[in-house]
A and B are shown apart, each in its own frame.
Chain A
Amino acid sequence: MLIPAAGCMSVFSGLLGIAIGYTLPSVEKSVPLVHITTIGKYTAIEAVRTRVPLMALLVLAVLLGASFFIRELAVTEATRFQIGFYATAARLCAVFMISLYVLASITREFNDKGLDVLLALDVPRSHYICGKLAGFMLTALAVAVIFSLPLWVLAPGAAAWLWTASLVVELALIVALSLFCIVTFNQLLPAAGFVAAFYLLARSLTAMRLMSAHPVAGQDTLSHQVTGILVEGLAYLMPALDRWTETAWLVNTTPEAGILLVIVLQGMVYLTLLTAATLFDFHRRSL
């Protein structure tokens, strides 16, 4: 199963270059975004062919089964337990899946020299990055929708809608972060480590800021002051992911829809930052 899949991927990389090579001369001037859409389209097709949606459905089935088990164990508030477990686990699994998929896909492209072939053609580097980003985001959208399906049945509709939309933005950000990391570090392990560390830190940064601002003891010590400055500095550079895609929305009170606007705006700002950083690094990369 793996060998044909790997073969297909090699063929796919070649086909991608050929497709762009054929389409470029006729459409370059009339449709300048053709590179991006083509690369994006084939990136999304790659995700389908490497069975990402199927894997998402499989994970969904496992998590849903586990959530029903938790529901049976609970003496009271059974549905609350089930939703809480499923939402938390699904969010983590979605982030893990998408991040690893992006990292592995780009690593494979680097190793197969598909990128070299592609850039030997008249394709601007920024178009490659934007195309990849578009394709991965489409995949992330599909994964977010798949994972949220059970919540549309179990949780209130408005809450499920907000949760899903927030997960889409969160996964889009993870896609951009993963792309930035793999372009910058080139290696899977440091890139995956950075993504994991960044995500965990972004989800605990608010708590760290609060603890740093109101310590139980030792407020005047130098170490505490240095830590406080460091944490506040990090907060300037990182999004507060702990306020996104909250399970509390599903099991407690549904928040105002305005919260989504804040998340989308913050997501757009940070996506732009990550994309610019990726482009910056990619333009400096010597192939």
Chain B
Amino acid sequence: MPTFAGLTDERTLRAVPPAVSIMLALALSLQLLWHGLQPAPAARAESLPPAPDASSLRAVSFGEPITAAQMLVLYLQAFDNQPGISIPFLDLDYDRVTEWLAAALQLDPRSGYPLMMASQLYGQVPDARKQRAMCEFVHAQFLAAPDDRWRWLAHCAIMAKHRLKDQALALRYATDITQNASKASGWARQMRIFILEDMGETESAKVLLGGLLATGEITDPSESNFLTERLQALELTGKSSTPSESRH
């Protein structure tokens, strides 16, 4: 009759001294009791720490600054949702947010992610001062690489015009796009004209529109026709029409 003893490398439970079993049960009970007596962890909002220096980050990124930049923006993006608590963007320290975004952009200048976060995420809070801070950040970064970053400034120009109701600021941004971003889309480069028109600066708008058509920068026939009509309308009325209604 074959025996099955030795097929397993474990002895029976009887081999365990009762004292050990009692000790195990007691220790487990103590651990459960200990945990039961501890207060539940409380969520507490932590303020955003100062951004690390970009050169330090580059040094500790093991030669992968793009990955470091990505980690940086993801950390910043997730900061509003700390464990157990959600912090409104409005409560964040925007000076520090700007530092973090700038550090990420320094590590990965080709990325538009930090500028998107500035204009579309942090710039959407109902606080004019913070909106302006984000727009100024985008503007400053735009000047460093206009052809790559014009779209974020264009968004800020629209934001300045419609949300901040600051036509002068919108015009400044639109003018910078026209003057610096030669590779920007036509609509962005023409934005300056329409802002001027809305501001009642019809003469300036006419000059700019005429210049745009005369230089041959507009190659698309439909666009050229539309702008020509706009110019004729301006010349005929001699005053600001209601262009926004037709532009939307």
Write the residues of chain A forming the contact surface with B, with a CB cutoff of 8 angstroms.
69-70, 73-75, 81, 126, 206-211, 213-214, 216, 235-237, 240, 265-266, 269-270, 272-273, 275-277, 279-280, 283-286
User: What band does the interface of chain B fall in when counting residues whose beta carbon is under 8 Å from A?
Assistant: 35 or more
> Known contacts A269-B31, A273-B30, A286-B10; is A126 also within 8 Å of B17 by CB?
yes
A276-B24, A280-B16 provided; 4 other pairs, C-beta below 8 A?
Answer: A206-B83, A210-B83, A214-B84, A283-B17
**Partner-contacting stretch, out of B53-61, B66-74, B106-114, B237-245:** B53-61
With both chains docked as a complex, state the minimum distance between the C-beta of B54 and any C-beta of chain A, in angstroms: 10
Selected contact of A272 from candidates B6, B23, B60, CB within 8 Å: B23
A236→B16 contact, CB < 8 A: no
Shortest Cβ distance from B22 into A: residue: A276
CB-nearest residue of chain A to B53? A75
Contacts of A265 in B (CB 8 A): 34
Chain A interface helix/strand/loop/mixed: helix
Within 8 Å by CB of A286, from B8, B24, B40, lies B8
Let me know if B83 and A207 touch, CB within 8 A. yes
Chain A residues with Cβ below 8 Å from B10 are 284-286
**Residues 1 to 55 of chain B near chain A (Cβ within 8 Å):** 6, 8-13, 15-17, 20-21, 23-24, 26-28, 30-32, 34-36, 38, 40-41, 43, 53, 55
- Asked if A283 contacts B84 (CB within 8 A), the reply is no
> Is B24 a contact of A273 with CB atoms below 8 Å?
yes
Candidates A74, A216, A237, A275; contact of B81 at CB < 8 Å: A216
Q: Point out the residues of chain B lying under 8 angstroms from A270, CB to CB.
A: 31
Tell me which residues across on chain A come within 8 A of B218, comparing CB atoms.
none
Q: Is the CB of A73 within 8 A of B11?
A: no
Question: Which A residues are CB-close (under 8 A) to B31?
Answer: 236-237, 269-270, 273
Interfacial chain B residues near A276, Cβ < 8 Å: 20, 23-24, 26-28
* Interface residue? B232 (CB, 8 A): no
A273-B27, A280-B21 given as contacts; is B35 within 8 A of A235 (CB)? yes
B241 vs chain A, min Cβ distance (A): 47
Known pairs A70-B56, A283-B15, A284-B16; A272 contacts B30 (CB<8 A) = yes
Q: Least Cβ distance of A198 to chain B in Å?
A: 14
Identify the closest chain A residue to B58 (Cβ): A73
> 15 A–B contact pairs at CB < 8 A?
A70-B60, A74-B53, A207-B83, A207-B84, A209-B40, A235-B35, A240-B38, A269-B27, A272-B23, A272-B27, A272-B30, A279-B20, A280-B16, A284-B10, A286-B11
Residues of A within 8 A of B90 (CB): none
- Kindly state the separation between the CA atoms of A285 and B86 in the bound complex, as whole angstroms: 50
Q: Contacts A73-B53, A210-B41, A214-B84 given: A269-B17 contact, CB under 8 Å?
A: no
The number of A-B residue pairs with CB atoms under 8 Å apart is: 95
Closest 5 CB pairs of A and B: A210-B84, A276-B24, A273-B27, A210-B83, A207-B83
* C-alpha spacing A270/B24, complex, angstroms: 11
Q: Give the complex CA separation of A207 and B32 in angstroms.
A: 20
Which residue of A is nearest B28, CB measured? A273
The yes or no answer to B85 lying at the interface (CB within 8 A) is yes
In the complex, A161→B1 CA distance in Å? 66
| Chain A residues closer than 8 Å to B43, beta-carbon distance | 210, 214
User: What B residues does A284 contact at CB under 8 A?
Assistant: 10-13, 15-16
The answer for the CA separation of A178 and B240 in the assembled complex, in Å, is: 80
Is the pair A126, B83 in contact by a Cβ cutoff of 8 Å?
no
Which one of A207, A210, A211 has the highest number of Cβ atoms from chain B below 10 Å of its Cβ?
A210
Task: List residues of B (185-238) whose CB comes within 8 Å of A's CBs.
Answer: none
On chain A, the residues within 8 Å of B32 by CB distance are 236
Q: Are B20 and A126 in contact (CB under 8 A)?
A: yes
* Cα(A281)–Cα(B21), bound, Å: 10
Chain B residues near A70 (CB, 8 Å)? 56, 60
Given known A216-B81, A236-B35, A266-B34, contact A73–B9 (CB-CB < 8 A): no
Report A42 CB to chain B, min CB distance, Å: 24
